[in-house]
Amino acid sequence: MAVTYYAGDDPDIAVNNGESWNSYTDSGATQIFRVSEVGAFDDAPASSNNVRITTTPTLLRAISSIKYKTDVQDMSDEEIDLLYQTRPVLYKSLSTHDNPNHTYYGFIAEEIEKFCPLLAEWNDSDPENLIVDGVQYDRTTVFLVGIVKRQKVQIENLKNKLVELKQKLTTIKSTLN
């Protein structure tokens, strides 16, 4: 479990020399905080993005080792084809941390949740009322690998069919001559 220390305006929380603390300015006041990675490598949930800080706050990291997984199975073609239902968009961010003039690529989380809730990122600040809040973009590559593998088979089949048709054409030409 990650531990987050907030100094904020609290003079009782001291920032020691040599410690790694981060700060940001919010409404004119400097907020100081530190995220300790205690347990970040002991509890690695598959529900996190590459790195994610939950609303509790807890620091999570993405994992891929079989030792963290159960009930492993191949995705079906129908599941892989869910990616075709996405609507890639361009947008400008409303976040105060982003440049308001910059255009970003992405998806709309609410649209992703409708056809593939496993790609949705959920706001867990109220466990009784989870709302979709983001997209697990790193997980979309799993769908793409499935699509590419299927297309590779289709391309190989088409190449073989082309060779077969060329051979038939050669036979027909030689018969006509």
Instruction: Provide the residue-wise pLDDT of the chain in tens; the chain has 177 residues.
Output: 334 444 444 444 444 444 444 554 455 555 555 555 444 445 545 454 567 666 666 777 777 888 888 999 999 999 999 999 999 999 999 888 888 899 999 999 999 999 998 899 888 777 788 888 889 888 899 999 999 999 999 999 999 999 999 999 999 999 998
pTM over 0.75: no
Q: Please report the DSSP string for 27-53 in residue order.
A: TTEEEEEEEE-TTTTT---TTS-SEEE
φ/ψ (deg, to 5) at 91: -155, 165
Token pair belonging to 136: 């697990």
